[in-house]
Structure 1
Amino acid sequence: MSSMDKERFESVIEEIREGLRKEGGDLEVVDIREGIVYVRLTGQCESCMMAGLTMKNWVEKRLLDAFDEIKEVRAV
């Protein structure tokens, strides 16, 4: 990602994190390799029954919609 894309990426991640924090959770970006973003849900999100849906329907969707170069988001 270019520096401008990195700034936009950080902005989108912060939007996601703010939403998760409202529910007592958070998100950590662990790595980005070959179009795959590796993330870890933390806080209340770790043990939440909805974590899988949150990851797929919100975190991944938001990142895929915002960045053409991202192919997938994986939880670690």
Structure 2
Amino acid sequence: MEDLIQRVEAALDSVRPYLVTDGGNVKVVEITDDFTVRLELLGACGNCPMSSMTFKAGLEEAILKSVPEIRKVEALNLVPIF
């Protein structure tokens, strides 16, 4: 499981510079037994109305492309779009 976490972190590192530029970041909270990655959006990302797009187009895509074992990616604190 440690190797899996490292590979997920490496995938996130490809997106992190963009998050940090906008005052945010992301943290891996857990990887479940059914290969779901649970993320927490930090800083400005935690309350940004664009966080859903950042999550789908950036974080989720980077993880699923780089770590094929992962079946699902969830963000625990996405801001809903109205």
| Number of residue-to-residue matches in the alignment | 75
The aligned counterpart of 1:56 is 56
Distance in 1 of aligned mates of 2:54 and 2:47: 12
The aligned counterpart of 1:27 is 26
CA RMSD of aligned residues (A): 1.6
Distance in 1 of aligned mates of 2:47 and 2:5: 30
Distance in 1 of aligned mates of 2:68 and 2:45: 27
The aligned counterpart of 2:11 is 12
% identical equivalent positions = 32
Distance in 2 of aligned mates of 1:52 and 1:8: 23
Structure 1 runs of 4+ off > 4 angstroms? none
Residue segments in structure 2 that go unaligned for 5+ positions in a row: 77-82
Q: Which has the higher contact order (CA 8 A, sep 6+)?
A: 2
Distance in 2 of aligned mates of 1:13 and 1:69: 15
SS in 1 for 2:15: helix
TM normalised by structure 1 equals 0.84
SS in 1 for 2:68: coil
Distance of aligned partners of 1:38 and 1:18 in 2 relative to their CA distance in 1, 3 Å threshold: same
Residue segments in structure 1 that go unaligned for 5+ positions in a row: none
TM normalised by structure 2 equals 0.79
State the Cα distance separating 1:13 from its structure 2 match: 2.2
